[in-house]
Amino acid sequence: MTDAALTVGFFHPSRGLFRFLVLIVAGSLTYGSYFAYDSVGALAPTLIQAWQAERESIGWLYTLYSVAAIVSVFFGGVLTDRIGTRRASLVFSALIVIGACIVASAPSILVACVGRFIFGAGSESLVVAQNAILSRWFRGRELALSFGITLAIARLGTLFSFNTESLIASRFSWQAALWAAAGLCVLSLVANLLYFVMDKAGEKALGLADATSGDKIVLADIKKFGASYWYVVFLCVTFYSAIFPFTALSTDFFHEKWGLPLTTDSGGGSFIAAAFADFMHMFSTAPGTSSIIIFASMCLAPFAGGLVDRIGRRASLMLVGALLMIPCHLLLGFTMLAPYYPMLLLGASFVLVPAALWPAVPLIVDKNRVGTAFGLMTMIQNIGLAFFPWLNGKLRDATQDYRASMAMFACLGLVGFVFALLLKRADQKAGGILDRGRAAQPAA
């Protein structure tokens, strides 16, 4: 060991333990917001009765979140550049807490909509800030691993939301369930404060480079993008519009069509034991069935990303993943087949497409325009996520069942498949860069 190494303590920012804790704290920044995002979907049947609202109103809670996310793509990056990532991330975390608290205390759906807008303004910007934080502390292969770990931590929030919120509501009240979501947002804010202290120490000791806002749109760059980029963008918007707007009301769907219970809780025993039972019987409850997609993504996405990096086949995997969505939604909408079978297949699609789609962007745009490419794609993605949750609820209220909604989601899958086909053809004409593996990529 060198003399320099001996002069620093075991918890110095240069040590592995310090950087590991930075990773865990950074991953925890979005745990609360992921939990709170799907809490209204997990509680949809209960909230519809409590607020005397229609399904369309639950869709509005997701729509307004995405509308706020579209706005934050522009202003979040500007704020981050002006005051720095540390301070901006605290502002975003505070907005998340304020929005979640408004939703938890809302006496009506109208007030809840205001809370969800504020919540969305902070949540999506915090994800961008989190990416900048990881880029500040990790490099090379470490960066890809850090992204996978933080995504897994965040997805745990969604998984727990679907599998505990109905239980909290049944044991206590629906308000208590929403306040639990707000409480976890507060804990994520505390994690952000801890990161603030750790990052200041690291900056002083290691001379870390400034973290940029990342996915920021430069309007002059947009006209430079080729056809392959736009095919990826339109596949992105159709794919995610057939996933998240579906899960927004899927708990109500599974509860209504198959009669799946909201919880396995019989009223006896401890809350912890009942929560564990809900997880162990995930396939037999409506919220648990909704979480199958997220569970598959959380477990397999880090491995899928590494596999795609090695073997390539990005355009081909996007093609397969988009195709899988079509029979999944049709089986759910028009048959009485046990829902966990098509949900497992939909989970496979949710692993394949994102693992190939997001890493494809740096391969098809100039490296100086990657930030604009990601920012623009995220903005357009949220336009779809703003429109289709509302339309899902509107169709359900108008038809009194979910067949029209499931046909709509299957059609989105079909449109996504067409864009994947066009991308595959364009990539073949360009030399097949998206389908190359790591070994076949040209040297930088």
Question: Please, what are the domains in the chain?
Answer: 11-147+154-216 (1.20.1250.20), 223-437 (1.20.1250.20)
Q: How far apart are CA 47 and CA 175, in angstroms?
A: 9
Amino acid at 412: L
Instruction: Read off the pTM.
Output: 0.87
Q: What is the pLDDT of residue 6?
A: 45
- At 8, is the pLDDT very low, low, confident or very high (cuts 50, 70, 90)? low
User: Is residue 136 over pLDDT 90?
Assistant: no
Q: What is the pLDDT of residue 217?
A: 67
Q: How far apart are CA 444 and CA 439, in angstroms?
A: 12
Rounding to the nearest 10 degrees, give the CA dihedral for residues 435, 322, 425, 368. -60
Q: CB–CB of 48/393 below 8 Å?
A: no
- At 187, is the pLDDT very low, low, confident or very high (cuts 50, 70, 90)? very high
- At 192, is the pLDDT very low, low, confident or very high (cuts 50, 70, 90)? very high
Q: What is the pLDDT of residue 139?
A: 73
User: Is residue 332 over pLDDT 50?
Assistant: yes
- At 114, is the pLDDT very low, low, confident or very high (cuts 50, 70, 90)? very high
Residue 139 has phi, psi (to 5 degrees) of -135, 160
User: Is residue 41 over pLDDT 90?
Assistant: yes
Provide CB contacts within 8 A for 82, sequence distance 6+.
Answer: none
- At 1, is the pLDDT very low, low, confident or very high (cuts 50, 70, 90)? very low
Q: How far apart are CA 142 and CA 55, in angstroms?
A: 43
pLDDT per residue as tens digits for the range 421-442: 999 999 999 888 888 765 455 4
Which is higher by pLDDT, 224 or 122? Answer: 122
Q: What is the pLDDT of residue 12?
A: 76
pLDDT per residue as tens digits for the range 299-319: 887 677 777 877 878 899 999
* Structure letter (DSSP) for residue 210: P
User: Is residue 16 over pLDDT 90?
Assistant: no
Q: How far apart are CA 293 and CA 370, in angstroms?
A: 28
Mean pLDDT throughout 344-362?
89
Average pLDDT of the chain is 87
Q: What is the pLDDT of residue 10?
A: 58
Q: What is the pLDDT of residue 2?
A: 46
Mean pLDDT throughout 279-291?
91
- At 443, is the pLDDT very low, low, confident or very high (cuts 50, 70, 90)? very low
Mean pLDDT throughout 101-114?
96
Q: How far apart, in Å, are the Cα atoms of 208 and each of 23, 137, 143, 150, 235?
A: 15, 8, 15, 20, 37
- At 209, is the pLDDT very low, low, confident or very high (cuts 50, 70, 90)? low
Q: What is the pLDDT of residue 11?
A: 66
Over pLDDT 90: what percentage of the chain? 56
Q: How far apart are CA 325 and CA 409, in angstroms?
A: 8
- At 86, is the pLDDT very low, low, confident or very high (cuts 50, 70, 90)? confident
Q: What is the pLDDT of residue 444?
A: 37
Mean pLDDT throughout 246-257?
95
User: Is residue 275 over pLDDT 70?
Assistant: yes
Which is higher by pLDDT, 127 or 250? Answer: 250
Mean pLDDT throughout 329-333?
97
Task: Using alpha carbons, select from 291, 317, 292, 316 the residue that is nearest to residue 304.
Answer: 317
Over pLDDT 70: what percentage of the chain? 92
